[in-house]
Chains A and B, each alone.
Chain A
């Protein structure tokens, strides 16, 4: 399907890029991205994907908008406080770009539903915008098992990190971090705080990886962990080996189905 005149105008700054062009923009419009968590990371990632014209966006979140979210979760506005986050997110996307079809999942991802959600629209790429280790391991394992590429990220205080998993192309999150730390062993944003812009920097990098994957351009963060320190303004790209002993993608996997780990303190209200 060719781009309409309106679309040619809306996406003109993409179309003019030789790595994108009209063809690439059509790929973007046909693509499907699932964003799990519409918070600090998921909010900016979703907004840039919607602006870019990612035709199908799935939003997963079980929470409602809280006043304390607005310092960083820019997809939600003051008037949205109390509203389901997926609803608020959907409204922002609709106001931004009529080309986007939004599917909302107003639920928490669990071992029981995550594979069904990923398979629901046969999403091309998954963005982990969650805030706790049980969810991060769940998303990793589900993506490895269903062979879906995904972007992992985490932020805390003035620091962030992100890596991209592509099936068969490099290590997964579990290759690097074997299993979730015990609850409360590692501080969360709620306990330690986070500078609001951290999600903007890292979430936008996640959206960049999704777009590059869809377009098939450049080099992804597969086999690398990118770390960012805002205080020293330092980015580091750390090479990651694949872990043959990885419990989910290694030579003898023992995690054959996604696992629900005990929720940590960040989930409790």
Chain B
């Protein structure tokens, strides 16, 4: 099945939850990433119970703290 992760088409063998998807895409600091699924925020405590399905649009938003 195909989903989009940060705009990139990503092929998955089976439906996975957000925690597993973070692992598959090797997300840095998965504990502090903000997740959007089809334009809705997914709460951290719902990562395990939220599964991605064909055609889903997932955005991982990362903290960027620098500036000086």
Given contacts A185-B32, A225-B61, A238-B61, contact A155 B41 (CB under 8 A): no
Given contacts A239-B39, A241-B40, contact A176 B67 (CB under 8 A): no
Given contacts A185-B29, A186-B29, contact A236 B68 (CB under 8 A): no
In chain B, residues 6-45, which have Cβ atoms closer than 8 Å to a Cβ of chain A?
A: 6-7, 29, 31-32, 34, 36, 39-41
Which one of A40, A185, A225, A236 lies within 8 Å of B66 (CB-CB)? A40
> Would B67 and A186 count as touching, CB distance under 8 A?
no
Counting contact residues on chain B (CB < 8 A from A), the size range is 10 to 19
> Is A22 part of the binding interface, using a Cβ–Cβ cutoff of 8 Å?
no
Which one of B6, B7, B34, B66 lies within 8 Å of A155 (CB-CB)? B66
Interface size for A (C-beta < 8 A) is 43
> Would B63 and A186 count as touching, CB distance under 8 A?
yes
> What is the minimal beta-carbon distance from B65 to any residue of chain A, in angstroms?
5
> Would A153 and B67 count as touching, CB distance under 8 A?
yes
> Would A238 and B59 count as touching, CB distance under 8 A?
yes
Given contacts A181-B29, A186-B29, contact A129 B39 (CB under 8 A): no
> Would A131 and B68 count as touching, CB distance under 8 A?
yes
Which one of B40, B41, B65 lies within 8 Å of A132 (CB-CB)? B65
Given contacts A236-B6, A243-B41, contact A160 B68 (CB under 8 A): no
Tell me the nearest residue of chain A to B63, going by C-beta: A186
Residues 37-75 of A, flagged 1 when their CB comes within 8 A of B and 0 if not, give 101111000000000000000000001000001000100
Contacts of A156 in B (CB 8 A): 64-66
Tell me the nearest residue of chain B to A133, going by C-beta: B65
Contacts of B31 in A (CB 8 A): 185
Contacts of A32 in B (CB 8 A): none
> Is A149 part of the binding interface, using a Cβ–Cβ cutoff of 8 Å?
no
> Is A164 part of the binding interface, using a Cβ–Cβ cutoff of 8 Å?
no
Bound-state Cα–Cα, A42 to B66, Å? 12
> Is A136 part of the binding interface, using a Cβ–Cβ cutoff of 8 Å?
yes
> Is A130 part of the binding interface, using a Cβ–Cβ cutoff of 8 Å?
yes
Contacts of B32 in A (CB 8 A): 181, 185-186
A-B contact pairs, 17 of them (CB 8 A): A37-B68, A39-B68, A40-B66, A41-B67, A69-B68, A73-B68, A129-B67, A129-B68, A154-B64, A161-B62, A177-B61, A177-B63, A181-B32, A181-B63, A188-B66, A225-B61, A243-B41
> B residues bordering A, Cβ < 8 Å?
6-7, 29, 31-32, 34, 36, 39-41, 59, 61-68
Known: A176-B34, A177-B34, A185-B29. 17 other contacts (CB 8 A): A40-B67, A42-B68, A129-B67, A131-B65, A131-B66, A153-B64, A154-B67, A176-B61, A177-B63, A181-B29, A185-B32, A186-B65, A192-B66, A236-B6, A238-B36, A241-B40, A266-B66
